[in-house]
């Protein structure tokens, strides 16, 4: 069977987008999803995103990591909004449902501002912070991020957590409100050029541990730059927004 697909990227996080409103894509077939994401034998991507109909929201976003596991993806969510606009499902504002619940978003000139879930699962540990932002994140500050062995250290930390494990974010502070981030992503099992839920976790972790007092954080990543804003009340983070670009790359057809 042939499927049309679209490729989008958000600060280097790249996704295969499929309009599955007819619900004919074999989403239970993990091997198909993994093969599509394979950068040598498939299209190549960090994940696959399906857009489906929903009875209450504008659309449903289903996200699969490159290994076929499901979770929420912040940059994927922003790309899903851009894709839904290109499909004429939405205009400039939307509400959609995803793995971790409903989301609000607005798109303007390829910049998508995405409301993330409220965050209160924050565990400050001896040398790191664990934050749940729609998926699991370990946040750890390091020196000389350029030279840091992100893959080796990230892989080791990722499996030290109980199943399903954790994404791992290594952070270097640039100034009072800017933190550079490199991320090892579970499900991809490699460093990616960006991670939306990851930079959200970093912003909240840096505020929680008083590395910053700002509620608007700039987060340079390997694939560009993202911003996270929030409101904090008694350790509870709400009105959390992730903002950055979401760009169409190309479209094609593939036989599955």
Residues involved in catalysis = 73, 195
Rounded to whole angstroms, the Cα distance separating 200 from 134 reads: 10
Are the C-beta atoms of residues 213 and 230 closer than 8 Å to each other?
A: no
Task: Decide if 7 contacts 14 (C-beta within 8 A).
Answer: yes
Tell me the C-alpha distance between 53 and 3, whole Å.
18
Whole-number Å distance between alpha carbons of 48 and 65: 7
- Within 8 A by CB and 6+ apart from 124, the residues are 208, 209
Q: How far is CA 63 from the centre of its chain?
A: 10
What 3-state DSSP class applies to 46?
coil
Count of residues in the chain: 256
Output the CA–CA distances (angstroms, integers) from residue 62 to 55, 89, 127, 211, in the order listed: 15, 16, 34, 35
């Amino acid at each position: 069977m042939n499927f049309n697909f679209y490729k989008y990227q958000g600060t280097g996080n790249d996704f295969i987008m499929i309009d599955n409103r007819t619900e004919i894509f074999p989403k239970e077939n993990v091997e198909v999803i993994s093969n599509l994401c394979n950068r040598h034998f498939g299209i190549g991507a960090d994940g696959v995103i399906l857009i489906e109909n929903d009875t209450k929201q504008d659309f449903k976003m289903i996200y699969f990591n490159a290994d076929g596991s499901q979770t929420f993806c912040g940059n994927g969510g922003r790309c899903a909004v851009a894709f839904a606009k290109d499909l004429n499902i939405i205009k400039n504002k939307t509400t959609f449902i995803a793995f971790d619940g409903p989301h609000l978003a607005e798109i303007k000139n390829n910049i998508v501002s995405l409301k993330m879930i409220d965050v209160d699962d924050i565990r400050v540990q001896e040398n790191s912070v664990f934050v749940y932002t729609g998926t699991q994140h370990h946040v750890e500050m390091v020196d000389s991020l350029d030279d840091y062995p992100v893959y080796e250290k990230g892989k080791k930390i990722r499996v030290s957590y109980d199943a399903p494990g954790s994404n791992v974010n290594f952070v270097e502070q640039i100034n009072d409100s800017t933190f550079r981030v490199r991320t090892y992503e579970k499900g991809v099992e490699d460093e990616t050029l960006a991670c939306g839920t990851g930079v959200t976790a970093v912003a909240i972790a840096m505020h929680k541990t008083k590395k910053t007092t700002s509620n608007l954080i700039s987060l340079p990543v390997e694939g560009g730059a993202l911003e996270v804003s929030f409101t904090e009340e008694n350790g509870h983070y709400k009105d959390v927004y992730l903002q950055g670009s979401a760009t169409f790359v190309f479209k094609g057809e593939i036989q599955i």
